[in-house]
Amino acid sequence: MNDNKFWELIDDSKRKSKGDPEKQIEFLVSNIAELPEQEIYEFDKIFYKYYVASYTSELWAAAYIINGGCSDDGFDYFRGWLISQGKEVYENALKEPESLAEVISEDEAGNIDFEDILYVSFDAYKLKTGKDDFYDKVQRTECPEIELTWSENEEVLEEMFPKLVKKFWQ
């Protein structure tokens, strides 16, 4: 398992599920479960590398605007959603969070999260082995402490992300 294979699995799951999150999870779990056990661990390691890398103040502000608020858990699930969208959307959002204005519709706003994707490695491992000791076998990088560089003030957020505020702020 390497980064290219990781993103290939994510991108294929997104394309084949046609936007249905349950189908995307089913696709990922079944395809990851077909891999050798070591590659399941490696998939998880790569997933969490990108998950930790997306733990930024700017992205949290974008999630706050898009979802009309964003708790710690909400930001975790938002980042899961972001990874589930594939390499291009993920990388663009990290470089420029306002790129999400082109990806998310107004109808979707307020509900941009995907908790279940955080568990695909565990679910694939359990499907393959019948065991639930996955978390005993993996080490995950913790998210670093970050200082939020924004406040919940509309003017501050609008200065940071005018496109997102214009499209999603209620």
* CA gap 160, 163 in Å, rounded: 9
Structural domain harbouring 73: 3-168
CA distance readout (Å), 7 to 4, 77, 90, 167:
5, 18, 10, 29
In this structure, what DSSP letter does residue 109 have? Answer: T
Note whether 86 and 14 are within 8 A (CB).
yes
Note whether 32 and 40 are within 8 A (CB).
yes
- Per-residue DSSP letters for 120-160? HHHHHHHHHHS---HHHH---PPPPP------S-HHHHHHH
Burial 139-165 (b: 16+ CB within 10 A, else e): eeeebeeeeeebeeeeeebeebbebbb
Which residues of the chain are modeled with pLDDT < 50?
A: none
pLDDT at residue 152 in the model: 87
Helix (H, G, I), strand (E, B) or coil at 54: coil
Cβ within 8 Å of residue 46, ≥6 positions away: 1, 2, 3, 6
Considering the entire predicted model, what is its pTM?
Answer: 0.94
- Per-residue DSSP letters for 5-43? HHHHHHHHHHHHHTT-HHHHHHHHHHHHHTS-HHHHHHH
What is the domain count for the chain?
A: 1
The H helix count followed by the E strand count for the chain is 10, 0
